[in-house]
Amino acid sequence: MEGQLWVRNILLTCFVYCGPFFTMFSLLNTVAIAYRSTAALPFGTIVIIIIIWGLVTIPLTIVGGIAGKNNRAEFNAPCRTNKYPREIPQLPWYRTTIPQMLMAGFLPFSAIYVELYYIFASVWGHKVYIIWSILFIVYIILIIVTAFITIALTYFQLAVEDHHWWWRSFLCGGATGLFVYGYCFYYYFCRSDMSGFMQASFFFGYMAMVCFGFFLMLGTIGWRASLMFVRHIYKAIKSE
C-alpha cells in the first residue's frame, strides 16, 4: 500500500493485542490473589511467560517484518489515479461509520448466535462441547458473511463518492466482536449461574480480550475482501 511507517507497524503487531491482554491478565490475576483463588498464577510463572514472549515472539515478529519489507512487491494501482483526492460530499447519518458498523456486525452475529450459547456453556459452564464439525461450518459461514457484507458496504460507500474505505472496511468487518461482547452480558445475567465480583471480572475481562481478538481477525478479513473487490472493479475501468 506504499506505506512508510513499517517500523511502527512491526511494533503495533507486537503490542496491539499482547499489550492489552497482559494488562487485563495482570488485573485479573491481582483479583484472584486478593480472593486467594487457585486461579492465580505465581509470580515465577508470569516471569517465564514474559521472558518467552520477549525472547521468542518479539524477535520473530521483527524478523518477519524486516523480511516482508525487503521482499515487498511494488504497489500497482488497478487504474489511473488523480493526483489530488476528490472532496467527499456531505453524507446522511445512516452512511456514517457507526450505523454501518451496526449493520455489518448484526448479520454475521446472527449467523453464529445459536452456536454461541453452546460454546459459552462449554467454556464457562459444565457442559462438554462435542459437535466440532458444526462449529467449523459456522466458522466458515462467519468468514464468508463478514467478507460479503463488508464488500457490499464498501460498494455503497464508493457509490456516494466516499473514497475513504480502508479503515471503514476494517471497522465494519470487526463489528461482530462488539455484538459478541454484548451477548456476554445477556449470557452472564440471563443464562449463567455466575455471581460475585471475581467471577464477573474474570468473565467480562477475558471475554473482552476474546472479542478484541475477534474484532482484529474479522476486521482484517473485511479489509482484505474489500481490497480485492476494489482492485477488481477499478481494474475494469478503461482510462483514456
Note the pLDDT of residue 240. Answer: 45
Q: What percent of the chain has pLDDT over 90?
A: 48
- Residue 139, C-alpha cell as written in the block: 466458522
In the prediction, which pLDDT does 173 show?
A: 94
Does residue 3 register a pLDDT over 80?
Answer: no
Count of alpha carbons within 13 Å of 129, Cβ hemisphere only?
Answer: 16
**What is the reported pLDDT for 193?**
86
> What pLDDT, on a 0 to 100 scale, did the predictor assign at position 41?
87
CB-count burial class (<10 Å; 0-12, 13-18, 19+) for 219: buried
Spatial separation of the C-alpha atoms in residues 19 and 6, rounded to whole Å: 19
Residue that is written with C-alpha cell 524478523 in the block? 63
Half-sphere exposure of 53 (CA within 13 A, CB side): 14
* pTM, full prediction: 0.86
125: pLDDT confidence band, cut at 50, 70 and 90? confident
Cα–Cα distance for residue pair 47/24, rounded to 1 Å: 16
Read off the pLDDT of residues 50-63 as tens digits, 9 standing for 90 and up: 899 889 989 999 99
Q: Provide the grid cell at 225.
A: 475482501
- Better-predicted residue by pLDDT, 125 or 2: 125
- Grid cell for residue 2: 506504499
Q: Is the pLDDT of residue 38 over 90?
A: no
What is residue 238's predicted lDDT score, i.e. its pLDDT? 58
**Per-residue pLDDT reduced to its tens digit, 206-226:** 999 999 999 999 999 999 999
- For 67-114, the pLDDT digits (tens) are 988 887 777 766 777 777 777 888 888 888 899 999 999 999 998 998
